[in-house]
Amino acid sequence: MKANYIIIIGGELADCIPAARLSENSKYHVALIEAGENDIKPLIHIPAGYIKTVVNPAMNWMFRNEAADGVNKRRIDMAQIKVLGAVQPLMQCSVSADGQLV
């Protein structure tokens, strides 16, 4: 039987679920690749520390979008912190105490 090799880039929830499902089938060989380290830094988990992660190149990939007409030719910073499963800690900081998105 011919094996199918699948590489999934990113270790966030939306990437891990398909990787797990595909790996349940023995005809697929799945590699899940993620960059970053464990999210043990306290600033990642407290909402007040979020701004410190956004401006720190040691903790943020410092991505920016390309200038586009829809944003008046501006380049906008896009927060993507350097930890495994990076969106989850950011989403935790974006929800207020009453469960509403900030």
Looking at residue 102, what is its pLDDT?
45
Counting the structural domains of the chain, the total is 2
Looking at residue 29, what is its pLDDT?
92
Residues 64 and 77 in one domain: yes
Residues 48 and 91 in one domain: yes
Strand pairing report for 28-33 and 4-9: parallel
**DSSP assignments along 20-80, one per residue:** HHHHTSTTEEEEEE--SB-S--HHHHSGGGHHHHHT-TTTB--EEPPP-GGGTT---EE--
What are 76's two structure tokens? 């906008």
87 pLDDT tier (thresholds 50, 70, 90): low
Residues 44 and 7 in one domain: no
Closest listed residue to residue 10, CA positions, set 89, 87, 78: 87
* Domain coverage including residue 14: 1-34
pLDDT in tens, 6-61: 998 877 777 888 889 999 998 999 998 887 777 777 777 777 777 788 888 888 88
Residues 42 and 57 in one domain: yes
Contact 93/46 with Cβ under 8 angstroms?
yes
Residues 20 and 44 in one domain: no
